[in-house]
Amino acid sequence: MARLVVLGAGVAGHTTATFAKKWLGNGHEVVVVTPNSLWNWIPSNIWVGVGGMSKEDVVFPLAPVYQKAGIDFRQAKAVSIHPEGKDGSDTPYVTVEYTGQNKEGQTEEITYDYLVNATGPKLNFDATPGLGNGEGGIGSNTVSVCTADHAVHASQELKQVFEKAKRGERQKILVGTGHGMCTCQGAAFEYIHNIHHEAEKAGVRDNVDIKWISNEAFLGDFGMGGMHMKVNGYVVSSRIFAESLYTERNIPWIIGAHVNKIEEGKAHYELLDGSTGEEEFDFAMLIPPFAGAGMKAYDKAGEDITSKIFNPGGFMFVDGDYAPKPYDEWKAADWPRTYQNRDYKNIFAAGIAFAPPHIISKPAKSPNGTPINPTPPRTGMPSGIIGKAVAHSIVDLIKNGSSAHLHEASMAEMGAACVASAGKGLTGGQAAAMTIYPVVPDFDKYPGTGRDTEYTFGEIGLAGHWIKHILHHLFIWKAKLKPGWTLIPE
């Protein structure tokens, strides 16, 4: 009997664990280690953040789902990896610290035959002074929609802002990224447009100034270097697509911005041209930069090998090409295909946890040397596809031995569908529905745009909102492993 340990139960980890268990059956063991007791459909947090959904609509308890599936669930956070075992034993293990199940604070060593690191991001609020509370959590100056609880708090704060606006007090809202190296601009994009939509519905839009601030070099970069897509028969840059939407909704923007300090009601920033500025606000939602989960790694002798397994940001090295090279020499082939750790072949990383070989957008620095560019998104559909491919590889390795073939899911050969909400409502809602192929541009294969414009398409309308709402229910159905869950694509 082999044991697969999956660290993390987000989109990637949950997909890996559930498919691996289904394919392996009861002859092998699947253990999931996650500090959270609840599964969260994160794409809908933006609706919680504007009061359009409750926390209960976007989360469910993991324990009963894993019990039904025969998966061993440990509510704990992974602390360290020991891929060579320890003195007296060659069996690799992870050290975990419980956060629930009435074992809070207790540590345990869990041995494994195969390990998947799908820990997702650590929300690194403290990277920007004033954005965090100095203890790893969010500070009191801004709000976030990164977790369901954060989104509930954001909704309460936003409600107060709307009430003040109703009383005739002019309010300033600032939404975007809280650091020069953030990713996940898409979530902030959705949130700002949902705030606009709700302000219109509440009849307070004329009394609310809404402004965007982000580290993108141009609006519509989204950490993917932007894209050219078919819109109404034209091939259009995502820059025009995004700028047009912001113009229509009267949302001005500050771009190429590294937010370097937050005070109560004020954000300080540095721009790509080296100039600095500050923006006052009554309400701000700024996405924090992401870091790896912060696990350590040790060899058999107990020596620290963290830098061998993880990059400085805490993301795990896999089979990508990590040799430093200039932007002009970046290739689609640099991106990992199997997500197998380069040193320990029984360790894989999936979703945000794997180290990208480089960013996707063109790197940029201010004259002061401050890097200001989005880091690559690895969430949503790519996370699920990677998680499933990793599960497939490990199942084949367990069933067929070390000669088994590994399954590929390169982001440079992967298409994705993305629906970005711009307002919620059965008949009044809107969303930008997009398909993109490939996620990582391949300028050798598609000179000019880097992507296949036959498959890269975008449109805004009510249909997009319906699709996002249907996907909300579909993916929660899938994550709960309800009948037919395997038929729902990632």
List residues near other proteins by CB under 8 A.
240, 243-244, 246-250, 252-253, 337-338, 340, 345, 385, 389, 397, 402-409, 413-417, 427-428, 430, 433, 435, 437, 455, 457, 459-464, 466-467, 489
Closest distance of CB 197 from other proteins, Å? 12
Q: Cα separation of 440 and 446, whole Å?
A: 11
Closest distance of CB 12 from other proteins, Å? 16
- Between 204 and 406, name the residue whose CB sits nearer to other proteins: 406
- Partners of residue 76 on adjacent β-strands: 98
The residue with tokens 């953040």 is: 49
H or E stretch covering 479: helix 462-479
423, 251 contact by CB (below 8 A)? no
Buried b / exposed e along 269-304 (16+ C-beta atoms within 10 A): bbbbeeeeeebebbbbbbbbbbbbbebbbbebeeee
Closest distance of CB 32 from other proteins, Å? 24
Closest distance of CB 415 from other proteins, Å? 4
Q: Cα separation of 104 and 330, whole Å?
A: 45
Closest distance of CB 334 from other proteins, Å? 16
H or E stretch covering 123: strand 122-123
Closest distance of CB 340 from other proteins, Å? 8
- Between 69 and 404, name the residue whose CB sits nearer to other proteins: 404
Q: Cα separation of 459 and 89, whole Å?
A: 57
- Between 374 and 464, name the residue whose CB sits nearer to other proteins: 464
- Cβ burial, residue 157 (10 Å; 0-12/13-18/19+): middle
Tokens of residue 140, six digits: 């009191």
Please give the DSSP secondary-structure letter assigned to residue 134: S
